[in-house]
Amino acid sequence: MEARDHELKKELDATLQARGELGAEYESALIDSFLEKVEQRLDTTLDRRVRRHLAEQRMTVARDSRTPQPLGSFGERFGFGVVSLILAVPLSAIGAANAGAKGLVVAWLGIVGVNALQAARGGWLFGRRNRSGSDDCWED
């Protein structure tokens, strides 16, 4: 990095020296030339960083695709439960207002059914654990 900075400093010094020799009438062309060199250096550096970042992402994806992924952390399951309870309030009101007690029962059967399906999808309803036997990761 210091070598590149040194090269850039030499380029700037050469540009300033050329300006002194050629005069102010060439100043715009000299500045444009210097800025092009700076831009090329930035492009090269950015290109290198982007390629390195993409390579790191590919390696991460390749590593992650080989490891089994948990099918829902506690936070995801908890969030799903909270959202379903929040939605239960208006669904209960709509069911009770339109069909009385039967509408309320139907609404709650739907809420319980959705939560049971979510629990069965994650495997924690039926107690199936992942291969490592830990409680924080469940499998289908």
Q: Are residues 77 and 133 in the same domain?
A: yes
pLDDT at 8: 81
Q: Are residues 34 and 84 in the same domain?
A: no
Span 55-67, pLDDT tens digits: 998 888 888 776 5
Which residue range(s) make up the domain with 125?
71-140
Q: Are residues 76 and 138 in the same domain?
A: yes
Q: Shortest CA distance to 123 belongs to which of 73, 87, 81? A: 73
- Out of 66, 84, 110, a domain closes at 66
pLDDT at 70: 57
Q: Are residues 78 and 137 in the same domain?
A: yes
Contact indicator for 92, 107 with CB cutoff of 8 Å? yes
- Out of 16, 46, 66, a domain closes at 66
pLDDT at 71: 56
Q: Are residues 103 and 50 in the same domain?
A: no
> Which has more confidence, 21 or 137?
21
pLDDT at 51: 92
- Out of 21, 50, 66, a domain closes at 66
Distances (CA, A) of 68 to 74, 78, 138: 17, 22, 10
Q: Are residues 60 and 75 in the same domain?
A: no
Residue 123 pLDDT grade (very low, low, confident, very high; cuts 50, 70, 90): low
Range in 2-11, 56-65, 68-77, 101-110 with the lowest mean pLDDT: 68-77
Q: Is 0.85 topped by the overall pTM?
A: no
